[in-house]
Structure 1
C-alpha cells in the first residue's frame, strides 16, 4: 500500500490534562488553534503527538520512548479541599481516540492509560488493526513512502549551548522518526547529516541529489523571507553560511535573529526528515511526502511581516504536509478562513466568521476579545482616569458633600493628574476643567 496522503482527520480527548472531553476535527492542509493563555492549546498538540505516537508504536523497530507516551502529569485531576485537607483524584482511564486519513480512507488510532500506576499505555489491537496492517506493509516494502511526523515546541532551538553536533552513523529510514515527537528537540541531527553529506560530496567532487533537494528548500524559504535571491547555503566551520546573489559577503546563520533561525530550523528539519524517510524519491521527496507537522506558537520571534507570510511559505514548500499550529498572532489569524481555525473556549468549535475578511483590529476585538484594540493600554488608562476625574468634579460641583470629602477628592485629583504629567495637553485640559468647577464652589 503506497501512502500518497497522510493527515489527521479528527481527535477525541478524554481525561487528558485539563480536558474531561474534547472532540476536534481538522482541515487537511493547515489548522490554526487559538485561545487565551491557559486555554489548553499546547495540551491539544501534546495529545495529537501522543496519537501520532500510536503510528510509531506499530513499528517493530521503533523504541517505546520514541512514541510519546501518556504520563502521570497528563492525567486530569480534581483537587478537593475538605476540612482543610487537600485531596487529589486522578481521573482514569485517559483515552485518546483519533482518525487518520490515509489515502482518503479513515483509519482509527486509539491510545489509553487505564490507571495511574500503569507504566505503559496500550495500543489496543482491535481498535488499531487497520493501522497495524498498513505499518506491516511499510516494513516489508523498501519503495513505499513513509509519512513525516514532526513536533516543534516553544523550546525549539537552532543552537544549544554546550552541545556538540550529534554523531551521524549509518542511517536507516526509521531514523527519520528519531525524536520527531519530542517538542523540546533541537536541530543537531540535521546539522550532522548535512555536514556529513556535504563533506562526502566535496570528496567525490559530485553533487548528492538528496542533499541538494534539502539545500534548495532552505534556500527557497530564505529567499522568500528576505525578498532577495539566495545563491548559497553551506556548512562551514561548525556553522551554516548564506550568500545572496550579487553579494560577495556571506552571512553566518548564528548571527541571525531568533525568528530567522527558528524558521530555518523548522524548514530544514522537515526536509531532512523527509530525505531520511524516503531516499528512494530523490528529487521528488519534498513534493511527494505527506504527513503531519505540529508547531507550537508559530509566530515565535517572528516579525509581523513574516507572520503574515509564514503559513503560505510552509504550505507552498511542503504541499502534501498537514500543519497544525497554535498562535496568538492576529496577523496569522488573518490569513485563515473560518474552517481552518479552532478557538479553544466554551464551544471549542471553528469560527463562524471569516478571518481573512477582518482587519487586525476586528480580529483582536471580535476573536481575541481585546477591548478597544485601536487604543494603546496607556490611552485606555488615560480614558478611565479622565472619566474618574470628571465624575469627582461633578460631585464637587453639586456641593452636597462634606469638606472632608472635598479635601479627599482634591487629593485624588492631584494623584490622577500626576500619573500623566508627561502629557501636557491632557493635564492642561483636566486642570482647566478643575479650575472652572472649583470657581463655582
Structure 2
C-alpha cells in the first residue's frame, strides 16, 4: 500500500490543498499553524476507509465534525461573524497490491457534508471492497500480506490508545494488528500484551519438550525476535527488548550490560522504542507467515507527528535513517521542527508548508537546501540547521 496524492477541501486550515507524497519518506516542515498535523489527520481519515473494510474492525475513523474550515467575515457593524464551510472532503490516490500480486492504481474519497451529517463512504467503496476481498483471502492457502497502517501523534507518551483486547482469542487474530491503529496515541500496552503471550507460548513449548524427554536449551520465537530486533535497532545502545516473565514487565537490555524496565526509560527512549516496537508487532501480527522478516517485508503507511519528540540531538540525526532501514517497504510521512532531522533527510523528501498553508513550489528540498531557506532560518535565527545541529551535538 502507498498513497501518492492527498487532496483536502475545507479541512481545518485548508480551503483547497494538494500534496504529492514520496514513495518512501516525506518530511513536512513549516511554522506552527502551517498545517503539518492537519495533513497527517487527513491521511489518517483516508486510511480509515481501508481499515473499516474488514469485518472484525469496527473503527472507520470518520472526518471529525470539528474539522470544517472556519471563515471569519466582518458585518456592516464591523462585528466579526464566523461560519463553517462544507463539504469537508478528503481525496487520495495511490497503489494497492491486487489479488494477482501486482500493484494496482486506486483512488477514493470521503466527505462530510454538514455538521449533522456522517462521513460518506460511497466514493471509498473501491478501497473497502479491496479490504473485504483481502479478508476473504486470509483463509486460503495463498499467503496474503496485509499492509501496516499507523498514526502516532504528539501526545503519544501520555495519551494511550483504547484499552487493548488482551484475551488470547483476539491476539490470535491477524486483524488485531489494525485495532486502534489510526488513533494518535501510544499503544505500548498492546504490544506488551502481545509479547507476554508470545513469551508464554515459548516457555510452554520448552516445558513440553522437557516433559517429553527432549533436551532443549532454547526454543526460538521468530515473532518475538522480529519485534525485539526492529525496536532495539532504532535505539542506539539497545541490545534487545523483551517481556520478562520474572518481573512481569517489558524490559530493555543495553550493550553496556544494564537491563532497564521500559517504564523507567527516558521520555526520548520510550518514545522511539515504543513507536518502533508498535510498528514491528503490527507488521508481525498482520503477517505471521513472514516470521522474523515481517518488519522488513511488510508494506504500509505510517504517520508520525514530530518524529523528533523528546529525542537528544544526536538521535535526531539518525531517526529517519533508522526507521527507513528497519522498515524499508513502509511509506513514512512525518513532521518535524528539528534542524537535525531536516538536515539528515534524503534529497527530495523535505516539503515545506508556507504561511498560506500551501506546499512551496518544487519537488522538495534536501538538508543542504534547508540550510539556506529563509522560512526555516527565520525559525532558527542563530544559524542554519547544520550549524545548530553541530553545536547541539
Q: What TM-score bracket applies, with the shorter chain setting the length?
A: 0.7 to 0.9
TM-score (norm 1): 0.74
**Structure 1 residue 122 and structure 2 residue 116: aligned?**
no
- Aligned-partner Cα distance in 1 for 2:132–2:364: 43
The alpha carbon displacement at 1:158 in A equals 7.4
CA contact (8 A) 1:339 1:350 kept: no
- Aligned-partner Cα distance in 2 for 1:359–1:112: 35
Pick the aligned partner of 2:25 from 22, 30, 35: 30
- Aligned-partner Cα distance in 2 for 1:302–1:252: 19
TM-score (norm 2): 0.83
Higher Rg of the two aligned structures: 1
- Aligned-partner Cα distance in 1 for 2:42–2:363: 25
The alpha carbon displacement at 1:128 in A equals 3.5
- Aligned-partner Cα distance in 1 for 2:227–2:128: 30
Would the alpha carbon gap of residues 231 and 211 (structure 1) be closer, same or farther in structure 2, given more than 3 Å must change?
closer
Query: Which residues of 2 match residues 233-244 of structure 1 at below 5 A?
Result: 233-236=242-245, 237-244=247-254
Counterpart for residue 195 of structure 2? 194
1:328-382 CA-partner distances (Å, limit 9, x unpaired): 011111122452122111441365774333585x45x56342474239xxxxxxx
Pick the aligned partner of 1:97 from 72, 81, 91: 91
CA contact (8 A) 2:68 2:88 kept: yes
- Aligned-partner Cα distance in 1 for 2:79–2:42: 32
Counterpart for residue 175 of structure 1? 176
Would the alpha carbon gap of residues 231 and 56 (structure 1) be closer, same or farther in structure 2, given more than 3 Å must change?
closer
- Aligned-partner Cα distance in 2 for 1:320–1:334: 22
- Aligned-partner Cα distance in 2 for 1:374–1:326: 21
Counterpart for residue 390 of structure 1? none
1:208-237 CA-partner distances (Å, limit 9, x unpaired): 221222122223223xx12xx726644353
Would the alpha carbon gap of residues 366 and 322 (structure 1) be closer, same or farther in structure 2, given more than 3 Å must change?
same
What secondary structure is seen at the aligned counterpart in 2 of 1:192? helix
Would the alpha carbon gap of residues 159 and 195 (structure 1) be closer, same or farther in structure 2, given more than 3 Å must change?
farther
CA contact (8 A) 1:32 1:340 kept: yes
CA contact (8 A) 1:34 1:343 kept: yes
CA contact (8 A) 2:349 2:364 kept: no
Counterpart for residue 138 of structure 1? 134
> Following superposition, which runs of at least 4 residues in structure 1 exceed 4 angstroms of deviation?
163-166, 350-354
- Aligned-partner Cα distance in 1 for 2:181–2:37: 16
Pick the aligned partner of 2:48 from 40, 48, 53: 53
- Aligned-partner Cα distance in 2 for 1:154–1:201: 35
Comparing 165-174 with 30-39, which one deviates more in the overlay? 165-174
- Aligned-partner Cα distance in 1 for 2:89–2:241: 48
- Aligned-partner Cα distance in 2 for 1:184–1:246: 31
Would the alpha carbon gap of residues 111 and 299 (structure 1) be closer, same or farther in structure 2, given more than 3 Å must change?
same
CA contact (8 A) 1:232 1:244 kept: no
Query: Which residues of 2 match residues 293-372 of structure 1 at below 5 A?
Result: 293-337=302-346, 339-345=348-354, 346=356, 347-349=358-360, 354-357=365-368, 362=372, 365=374, 367-370=376-379, 372=381
Would the alpha carbon gap of residues 233 and 350 (structure 1) be closer, same or farther in structure 2, given more than 3 Å must change?
farther
Segments of structure 2 that go 5 or more residues without pairing to the other structure are 98-102, 207-218, 385-393
Counterpart for residue 216 of structure 2? none
The alpha carbon displacement at 1:86 in A equals 5.2
Counterpart for residue 423 of structure 1? none
Counterpart for residue 8 of structure 1? 3
Counterpart for residue 231 of structure 2? 218
- Aligned-partner Cα distance in 2 for 1:353–1:273: 30
What secondary structure is seen at the aligned counterpart in 2 of 1:20? strand
CA contact (8 A) 1:16 1:76 kept: yes
- Aligned-partner Cα distance in 2 for 1:16–1:73: 9
Counterpart for residue 69 of structure 1? 62
CA contact (8 A) 1:157 1:187 kept: no
RMSD: 2.5
- Aligned-partner Cα distance in 2 for 1:72–1:359: 36
